[in-house]
Amino acid sequence: HRAKTQGGGFALVTARESLHDAEMHSLSSELRAAIEEDQLVLHLQPIVDIAADRVQGVEALVRWQHPRRGLIMPGDFIPRAERSGLISELSNWVLKRALSSAADLHAAGWPLGISVNLSARTLLDPHFPDALAELLAAVDLPSRYLTVEITEDTLMADQQRTLDVVTRVANMGVHISIDDFGTGYSQLAYLKRLPASEIKIDRSFVEDMLVSRTDLSIVQATIGLAHALELRAVAEGIETESQAERLRQLGCDYMQGYYIGRPMPEDKFRDWLGAWDLYHASAGGPAGPET
Ligand code: C2E
Ligand code: MG
Ligand code: MG
Ligand code: MG
């Protein structure tokens, strides 16, 4: 902080920082109430199987519909929930809601998978697998339809403990996905021991893959690595038709991004699914977004 070395600026910065702290503090106490009072909402973003040209599943992304501040994105409250010990309640809320959304979709004739993001904290908790088993037992949805997304850095906190929890979850038939792959501390030796089903190539690489030879190589190599390990390669953050087409050529398995569909509230997502189905049925046979 440059201002801190300049005498007079110090108080200003300190005041601003404590204001920020105070605001964050009130946010965490409000968050507790938000979980209880159902101010959280899940948005669903479609994930498409590229070769089959089919909606394979959805990723559940949490938002906080704050009564005064409006819609707050997860980047602005998940870290706070982690530090204030609210993350297990939040994870539980998200899982419960996501599983029931998926079960409702199944009942309505849409047998989609559901992917849920879990924090490192949650995966360090030895009680988590039992809690998850209870949630799964309470809903009419086979566990293979659930995918748990974890980031590489999640795995770094306490490798053995996390690996134990993740393995117990995988043994229940739940799929494990390595999210934002390539942006954290990837250890191939660890990846080898992880019972994962898929690797999600981070959006930052997809974003520049058509303009940067390096990013294209990284995307290509990650797809190759996934396939060599018999994992699915999933690309996130697809925003253009050219990116989608290139990923198809590279043999990427699944894709997700604004080009296909934005994260949407559940009712909007159902409308979106209906429209997708109509469009793809009328196109007749395998049709890519390019047709
Ligand atoms: P993520 O799991 O990598 O999720 C993808 C993020 O990229 C989402 O942001 C999504 O809205 C955004 N995105 C998807 N397609 C595109 C695209 O084509 N272009 C661009 N520019 N962005 C795209 P969001 O919803 O703000 O979530 C951010 C992160 O917050 C997630 O990253 C995930 O790590 C975390 N998160 C979200 N929901 C939860 C949750 O329920 N629990 C936990 N622990 N973390 C969550
Ligand atoms: Mg994710
Ligand atoms: Mg991701
Ligand atoms: Mg990401």
Q: What is the pLDDT of residues 192-248, one digit of tens each?
A: 889 999 999 999 999 999 999 999 999 999 999 999 999 999 999 999 999 999 999
CB atoms within 10 A of CB 221: 13
Q: Contact, 221 vs 231, CB < 8 A?
A: no
CB atoms within 10 A of CB 113: 19
Q: Contact, 57 vs 47, CB < 8 A?
A: yes
Q: Is 78 in the pocket of ligand 1 (CB under 6 A)?
A: yes
Q: Report the pLDDT value the prediction gives residue 290, as an integer from 0 to 100.
A: 43
DSSP summary character for residue 256: E
Instruction: Among 18-27, 44-53, 214-223, 243-252, name the one with the lowest average pLDDT.
Output: 18-27
pTM for this predicted structure: 0.89
Residue 21 tokens, joined: 């702290």
Q: For residues 45 and 54, give the distance between their C-alpha atoms in angstroms, rounded to a whole number.
A: 14
Taking the CA of residue 94 as reference, the ligand 1 atom at the shortest distance is 41
Q: Contact, 97 vs 58, CB < 8 A?
A: no
Residue nearest to atom 7 of ligand 1 (CA): 237
Q: Model confidence over 107-141: pLDDT tens digits?
A: 999 999 999 999 988 999 999 999 999 999 999 99
ipTM exceeds 0.95, yes or no: yes
Residue nearest to atom 17 of ligand 1 (CA): 237
Nearest CA among 259, 211, 216 for reference residue 239: 259
pLDDT confidence band for 20 (50 / 70 / 90):
low
DSSP summary character for residue 239: -
Q: Is 62 in the pocket of ligand 1 (CB under 6 A)?
A: yes
Q: Is 79 in the pocket of ligand 1 (CB under 6 A)?
A: no
Cα-to-centroid distance, 212 and ligand 2 (Å): 24
| Residue 21 DSSP SS3 | helix
Between 279 and 267, name the one with better pLDDT. 267
Q: In this model, does residue 9 exceed pLDDT 80? A: no
Cα-to-centroid distance, 45 and ligand 4 (Å): 13
